Chain A
Amino acid sequence: MKCLDGKATGVCVAIGVLCSATLSVAQIPANPRVEIVYVQPSNRAFQPIYDRLKKRQVLEEVQRFLAPLKLPRKLTVKLDQCGAQQVQHVSQGPVTICYELVDQIEKVGAKIDPAARPGVIAGAFIQAVLYQVAQGVLDILDVPVWGRVGDASDRFAALVMLKFGEELAARTIYGTSVFFDASQHTWTGSAFADATSPEAQRYYNYLCIAYGGSPITFNYLVTTSGGKGPILPIERSRRCPGEYRQVLKAFDMRIMPYVDPDLVIKVRATPWLLPTDTK
């Protein structure tokens, strides 16, 4: 399924991830506890992003994707201009996907092989949405979180990425890893005090959960080729099955009681990202 405007631009594809299966997605009810807001950016440079995302009804798709989740109170998901690529989530506050981050994802995408570009942009965009939503869900459900919340949200997001079929898992994890790998951020001194982990660390965290949960699909992460070592060093990869089981256990114990089993089957059966979306 093509994006509505027929363009294969980054945003179009990213949106396509969510709008591609519009007909099927339309059969899934929007979560009534999920409120969505498109905030008009004051920076005119972000206006095209705002226009495209709103036209493609990206947040409406998020509302449907979250349909199985039984939330005790309202969760607001908004697209906004933040002044930074991401803002720290405040308890009981909205989750925000920043136009600055979407812009950065597209800029990273513009530098890579055109053939891989749509998938990378789509994967990175989905990661951004899932990461933010995870923070909101952990907060609203008052989930006890051991470890840093940002890392917990990354593990949450990686786990969800693996639950919608091999192909979608491969695309989203790949897009996420390329985006983090492209970061030019240098970490020294007090930069390590940041509540968000370094991009390189997050890169390995996503890959580890992916390999741990789906070792066949992601076998390429632990194989050597051309004299180069594996992408995931063996010291880490041998721990990944355990890391995956750990986050899966936490998810099953703390999140699944709030998930409608019938609706989750419908959501999982929906083709959220078709191969044609990234062409």
Chain B
Amino acid sequence: MRVVPAAFRQPQSDAVRSTVRVVTLALVALVAAWCGPVAAQAPAELVSGTVSYAYLPPKSPKYVPMVERLKAFRILEQLSEFLAPLRLPHKLTLTTKECGFVNAYYAPSRWVIEVCYEFVETLERIGPKQGETSEFTYEEVVVGALVGVLLHEGGHSVFDMLDVPVFGREEDAADEMSTFIAMQFSKDVALSIVKGYAYITKSWFGVSVPIYSDEHGTGLQRYYNTLCIAYGGAPDLFKDFVAKSDLPKERAANCPNEYQQIKRAFEKTILPFVDQEKLKKVQATPWLQLTPTQAAALKQQQQAQQQTFTFSVCNMSKVSNVSVALMGKSPNDPNTWRVVGWFEIPDSGCNYIGSFYGDKIYWYAEGSNKAVWRAAETDRTGSKQCIDHAKAFEEVGGTKCSAGQVQVNFRLRTISPADVGVTLRLN
């Protein structure tokens, strides 16, 4: 079996998988990350005595600016304030750290929530480019989705710490918690979080081949569930957003009932642990309002991401056992072309390959019965590069072929400036 080399190895389709479990009120805390001055206005009563935090220093220098930014936003401090209304039976620790993988998770054995710098980095990278869509803003995806994910993890931690009975699948329950909590704040906050979460479940988690054995639902299931709960709880606020989606009428008709089901579950199992006075203060705080400085910082990040795009490959052909080799530039090393193989593409399915820099990518594919996709030898837009049929390989573009390698002409795919997510379909 071919092995995907380390370079370009990207997060799994559902970065929220594994552990992720935060605290419901993480929303506000995360929001606070982007609104320092507002955080300073938080009532003193919201200072939590049960939540500690730490910004762990990253190993990679590239994350140092991100850590400084998160500290400046006081994200963990704010999260602890946001959690103040919740009477937790254990001390909870919040950390940001470099993980070596893309995730945010709650570790029940340690009562710790950890947000990986890689996860924040990915959100910043997949956010919509300027002019790409009028449906989602960059702020909604970076801030709203991050808060939504933290609320998801918060759901896990609340279920664990408060010993909440969960009849359904816990990952769906955590998604429900995330959306439900988002709905309890201002319209702007609700819209931002729901839209951000919908964006990543559809455009990130939803582009991979469904893994039915996974404890998570598929990306599209999570996307429709999020839409349904939001629409069911606030039909006027979300009717336009839902109208632009393809949520079937049959499902939409039952969404108010689905929202009520979650509301009843929250009232019966979580609300008894919430300090009502503190909750009112949290709800009254204008979270998610960016200062001009923070808005400018986000704008800068968006511009920095303009030249990156995500790349997925789908096998729509009748050829089986398809593998792809690529030549592209990593966002972490935008001056170097690297040739990497192999990425396995499921039969009749897709694989999310990763993020790349620039406006070009070169690719080559092959499958069973000697099927190949490549540029013609005379195609000068292509790029002749070396591949190794026998094993995974990774090298700088243009390197002379070594023993066992052969040269093939990779096809060019030009990326338009508006393309943030490119899907190559092999027919």
- Asked if A pairs with B, the answer is yes
Chain A residues with CB under 8 Å of chain B are 88, 91, 138, 142-149, 151-152, 155-156, 187, 189-190, 192-195, 197-198, 200-201, 203-205, 232-233, 235-236, 239, 243, 246-247, 249-251, 253-254
Q: Known: A190-B248, A192-B220, A193-B224. Contact between A149 and B214, CB under 8 A? A: no
B404 interfacial by beta-carbon distance below 8 Å = no
B416 interfacial by beta-carbon distance below 8 Å = no
State the main secondary structure of chain A at its contact with B: helix
| Choice from B167, B169, B210, B251 contacting A205 with Cβ under 8 Å | B169
Shortest distance between the CB of A144 and any CB in chain B (Å): 4
Nearest A residue (CB) for B218: A192
What would be 30 A-B contacts, judged by CB atoms less than 8 Å apart? A138-B167, A143-B167, A144-B267, A144-B269, A146-B164, A146-B165, A146-B168, A146-B176, A146-B262, A146-B265, A146-B269, A147-B169, A147-B176, A148-B172, A151-B169, A151-B172, A155-B167, A155-B168, A189-B220, A190-B247, A192-B221, A193-B221, A193-B247, A195-B254, A195-B258, A197-B217, A201-B212, A203-B212, A235-B213, A246-B170
State the main secondary structure of chain B at its contact with A: helix
Contact between A195 and B169 (Cβ–Cβ < 8 Å)?
no
B159 interfacial by beta-carbon distance below 8 Å = yes
Contact between B173 and A146 (Cβ–Cβ < 8 Å)?
yes
Chain B residues with CB under 8 Å of chain A are 159, 163-170, 172-173, 176-177, 210, 212-215, 217-218, 220-221, 223-225, 228, 246-248, 251, 254, 257-258, 261-262, 264-265, 267-269
Shortest distance between the CB of B165 and any CB in chain A (Å): 4
CA distance A197 to B251 in the complex (A): 13
Contact between B213 and A204 (Cβ–Cβ < 8 Å)?
yes
Contact between B167 and A197 (Cβ–Cβ < 8 Å)?
no
CA distance A144 to B246 in the complex (A): 29
CA distance A201 to B211 in the complex (A): 8
Most buried by B among A144, A146, A236: A146
Contact between B166 and A246 (Cβ–Cβ < 8 Å)?
yes
Nearest B residue (CB) for A192: B220
Contact between A142 and B246 (Cβ–Cβ < 8 Å)?
no
Most buried by B among A143, A145, A151, A204: A145
Given A147-B167, A152-B167, A254-B165, 18 more A-B residue pairs with CB atoms under 8 Å apart are A144-B267, A145-B168, A146-B159, A146-B265, A147-B166, A149-B261, A151-B172, A155-B168, A187-B210, A189-B220, A190-B224, A192-B220, A193-B224, A193-B246, A193-B247, A193-B251, A236-B215, A249-B163
Nearest A residue (CB) for B253: A88
Nearest A residue (CB) for B166: A146
Contact between B213 and A190 (Cβ–Cβ < 8 Å)?
no
Q: Known: A198-B212, A250-B167. Contact between A145 and B172, CB under 8 A? A: no
CA distance A144 to B251 in the complex (A): 21
Chain A residues with CB below 8 A from B164, complex form: 146
Chain A residues with CB below 8 A from B214, complex form: 235-236
Shortest distance between the CB of B200 and any CB in chain A (Å): 16
Chain B residues with CB below 8 A from A146, complex form: 159, 164-168, 170, 173, 176-177, 262, 265, 269
Chain A residues with CB below 8 A from B177, complex form: 146
| Choice from B165, B168, B224 contacting A192 with Cβ under 8 Å | B224
Contact between B173 and A147 (Cβ–Cβ < 8 Å)?
yes
Contact between A145 and B213 (Cβ–Cβ < 8 Å)?
no
Shortest distance between the CB of B247 and any CB in chain A (Å): 6
Q: Known: A144-B268, A144-B269. Contact between A200 and B261, CB under 8 A? A: no
Shortest distance between the CB of B161 and any CB in chain A (Å): 14
Nearest B residue (CB) for A202: B212
Contact between B167 and A247 (Cβ–Cβ < 8 Å)?
yes
Chain B residues with CB below 8 A from A156, complex form: 167
Chain A residues with CB below 8 A from B212, complex form: 198, 200-201, 203-204
CA distance A235 to B173 in the complex (A): 20
CA distance A147 to B262 in the complex (A): 8
Chain A residues with CB below 8 A from B269, complex form: 144, 146
CA distance A134 to B325 in the complex (A): 50
CA distance A151 to B224 in the complex (A): 16
Contact between A152 and B168 (Cβ–Cβ < 8 Å)?
yes
| Choice from B159, B165, B248, B268 contacting A193 with Cβ under 8 Å | B248
Chain B residues with CB below 8 A from A205, complex form: 169
CA distance A254 to B269 in the complex (A): 11
Nearest B residue (CB) for A186: B348
